[in-house]
Structure 1
Amino acid sequence: MIKKISLLMLIVILTLSLFGCSDGGSANNEASSGKPVTWRITHEEVVGSVQDVYANKFKELIEEKSAGKIKVEVYPVGQLGDGVTQVELLQDGGVDFAINNPGAVATIIPENQVFSLQFLLSDDMDVNQKVMTEGAAKDELNNIYLKKGIKVLDWFTEGFQMWTGNKSLTSIDDFKGFKMRTMASPMISAGYEAYGANPTPIPYMEVYSSLQLNMIDGQVNPIFAIEEMKFYEVQKYLMMSKQNTFVGTFCVNPDFWDKLGDSDKGMVESIVPELNKYIFEVQENLNTERLEKIKEVSDIQIVELTDGERDSFKEASIPVRDVYVNEVGEKGKKILDLLIKDVEKFENEK
């Protein structure tokens, strides 16, 4: 109840603020109207991250194409609450756009936990980009999101997920009793439980201190996040595991969207492919550059998993797909089957 009241108060403050800085921020005001209209976008990461770069590129393109008639305000994680709070703000109209990942939306859209399944997507990032942009699975998910008050405009990858730990993790035995920090997602937890680990949900901004105090033994994130959060300072090993990819979604509040005029909708839709292409190149370069920086400023040991080691983890992860289907039901099974077909299709087209 307290959380709901706080969220309501935050929405009221944002709404009053919006009236104070523009013509009221009403979505049905076309960019061609007199005074600037303010759009708000929030994301789950810190300044300089992949989501932050995406959000600021969106801001740049919208303000440029609207000739300054639309202003975009970007709110990184923490300014308007954590990832889950930001999702609620988007649903309730407290913000207009948001970038989030399936983990933060898992409690309301359990079907999207399919992206938490390990060794399901390709280890070729070009294939994964096509799965995100051209695959059939994401279309099914878009319909489910919309029924929950979220309209997805874009799916994109932020890079491969990698493990870090206070010891090397190259076999199932290495995970026995290992306290792995995860997001608060049942499917992510199930994935590490399959290895015998002890998944431990901890807020993102508390991971560093938890590692430092040995409250957890390791964590999982893309390389850019490992570098920007300085996890390498409190971890001894970085495993190039590529067990899955970190997926992002660019979303809009459906009521806000429906009230936009055709020209504003068209403007947003026209820049989405550009944003997707741009962020794919950004994440690739950013993760490469950040890995080199980690090597330069730390003595963390980089561990490359062999094909045999990856195969062992993949074999152990397969039963978790049944856990997913049992938890989510037939809709989940359909999405899982479509995703498997998407991956096979685009891998065969290479």
Structure 2
Amino acid sequence: MTITASGDLTMYTLNALKKAALAAAMGLALAGQASMAAAEEWKFALEEISGSVQDAYAQKFKALIEEKSAGKISVTVYPYGALGESEDLTELVANGVLQFTHGSTGILGSTAPGMQVFSVPYLLSQDNQVNLKLLTESPTIYGPVADKLKARNLRLLSMYPEGEMVWSTNKEIRQPADFANVKMRVMASPMLVETYKSFGAVPTPLPYSEVYGGLQLKMIDGQENPIFAIEEMKFYEVNDVLTWSGHQQFTVAVLSSESWYQGLPAEQRQMIDETVAELAPYIFETQASYNKERLQKIQQAKPGIKLVHLTEQEQAAFREASQPLRDKLVDLAGPEAGAVLKALEAEIAALEQQ
């Protein structure tokens, strides 16, 4: 090409610079896309639907991990039903298909008998600050109980309560005798079945997804869950009475694949551990606010619903009725579970005195 004037030279130079700048910009964009495409994906499946306490935990986990990894790791959250029932999720994590899930203690009890203790009524403290320390720091939980889960390639990262268990029924339950002939839905846990037998009810195992229909068709008469779950699953629509008995909190475990976790670089393991530690106080506060807000929603949707809070004397009758369950725990889950129960009761007593 022949350049005949300084103006032509200037124009040529500007065009060349523009082309170079455009090429550089395109290169950066392609590099950015390649970086995004190469982001490592971690999958986190829930036992509950979007908007639940478990979802709040997973979404906060996702935000923290993605921030700490500067976008190098993306976390995909799968709500209840997307990948199966609770038993399916723990199996998928154990097989390394998923990286994280929540696990109900009743389901985990078949692998770690010590997990069955969380089905024993009136075990946890009425003070959630005590429960916070217990469920995140207990040498019993993160020692022998966690070791049992490792045998199934499950790593116990944390535990937390999702709220006090509340009975939803069509009649008032103020004493064990009131449970006569009442079919109460329970998870498929031998200890939960025995618990409701001790209370005088007729325990009826049923998958979570079938509870609403079961109540509607009178296959069951009642169920237990934290208030947030009763609201989001609309159980209050087909039951007229909500009862706070103080007998239990719904306690859930946060799980990962042990082999997958151990195979991570040290900095990623540390990032997970730090994130889980940060989430402990957050989720305790979040579940309390969720349950308070959801109760208000229930009362707005169904102003006539009856709220019953058992007195200490009324609770005492259920405490007494459930005492034989401590021996039943040993019969069903073995002496190992009995030892875990005694150890946790001692830890709780010590924490309450601090």
TM exceeds 0.5?
yes
Q: Match of 2:314?
A: 309
User: Which is further off, 139-148 or 61-70?
Assistant: 139-148
Tell me the secondary structure at the aligned position of residue 245 of structure 1: strand
Aligned pair 1:294/2:318, yes or no? no
Q: Match of 1:21?
A: none
> Which amino acid is 1:265 matched to?
R
Shift of 1:33: 11
Tell me the secondary structure at the aligned position of residue 194 of structure 1: helix
Shift of 1:153: 0.8
Cα distance in 2 between the residues matched to 1:254 and 1:133: 18
Q: Match of 2:168?
A: 164
Deviation track 1:274-301 (CA, whole Å, cap 9, x = no partner) reads 1111111100111111112212211210
Tell me the secondary structure at the aligned position of residue 303 of structure 1: strand
Deviation track 1:159-216 (CA, whole Å, cap 9, x = no partner) reads 1111111111110101112100010000000000112211111111111111111110
Which residues in structure 2 correspond to 1:182-221 (within 5 Å)? 182-221=186-225
Aligned partners of 1:224 and 1:287 also within 8 Å? yes
Deviation track 1:320-344 (CA, whole Å, cap 9, x = no partner) reads 1101012222211110011111221
Which residues in structure 2 correspond to 1:37-76 (within 5 Å)? 37-76=40-79
* TM-score (ref. length: structure 1): 0.88
Cα distance in 2 between the residues matched to 1:33 and 1:207: 42
Q: Match of 2:129?
A: 126
For structure 2, which runs of at least 5 residues remain unmatched after alignment? 1-34
Q: Match of 2:327?
A: 322
Which residues in structure 2 correspond to 1:127-276 (within 5 Å)? 127-139=130-142, 140-276=144-280
Aligned pair 1:341/2:341, yes or no? no
Q: Match of 2:282?
A: 278
Instruction: Choose from 94, 99, 102 the match for 1:96.
Output: 99
Aligned partners of 1:87 and 1:104 also within 8 Å? no
> Which amino acid is 1:137 matched to?
T
Q: Match of 1:83?
A: 86
Shift of 1:229: 0.7
Cα distance in 2 between the residues matched to 1:259 and 1:136: 24
Shift of 1:82: 0.3
Aligned pair 1:115/2:118, yes or no? yes
Task: Provide the identity percentage.
Answer: 42
> Which amino acid is 1:208 matched to?
Y
Tell me the secondary structure at the aligned position of residue 120 of structure 1: coil
Shift of 1:147: 1.7
Q: Match of 1:332?
A: 337
Shift of 1:144: 1.4
Cα distance in 1 between the residues matched to 2:244 and 2:214: 22
User: Which is further off, 116-125 or 316-325?
Assistant: 116-125
> Which amino acid is 1:225 matched to?
A
Aligned partners of 1:136 and 1:339 also within 8 Å? no
Aligned partners of 2:330 and 2:338 also within 8 Å? yes
Shift of 1:104: 2.5
Give the RMSD, CA atoms, in angstroms.
1.5
Cα distance in 2 between the residues matched to 1:257 and 1:184: 29
Shift of 1:150: 0.5
Tell me the secondary structure at the aligned position of residue 199 of structure 2: coil
Deviation track 1:128-148 (CA, whole Å, cap 9, x = no partner) reads 222212223312211111122
Shift of 1:317: 0.5
Tell me the secondary structure at the aligned position of residue 49 of structure 2: coil
Cα distance in 2 between the residues matched to 1:300 and 1:219: 16
Shift of 1:271: 1.0
Cα distance in 1 between the residues matched to 2:146 and 2:92: 19
* TM-score (ref. length: structure 2): 0.87
Aligned partners of 2:191 and 2:332 also within 8 Å? no
For structure 1, which runs of at least 5 residues remain unmatched after alignment? 1-31
Greater C-alpha radius of gyration: 2
Deviation track 1:73-108 (CA, whole Å, cap 9, x = no partner) reads 111121110000111111111101111221222333
Tell me the secondary structure at the aligned position of residue 98 of structure 1: strand
> Which amino acid is 1:246 matched to?
F
* Structure 1 residues 337 and 89, CA gap change in structure 2 (3 angstroms): same
Aligned partners of 2:169 and 2:242 also within 8 Å? yes
Q: Match of 2:29?
A: none
Cα distance in 2 between the residues matched to 1:170 and 1:124: 23
Cα distance in 2 between the residues matched to 1:243 and 1:106: 19
Cα distance in 2 between the residues matched to 1:185 and 1:124: 26
Cα distance in 1 between the residues matched to 2:48 and 2:267: 30
Shift of 1:63: 0.7
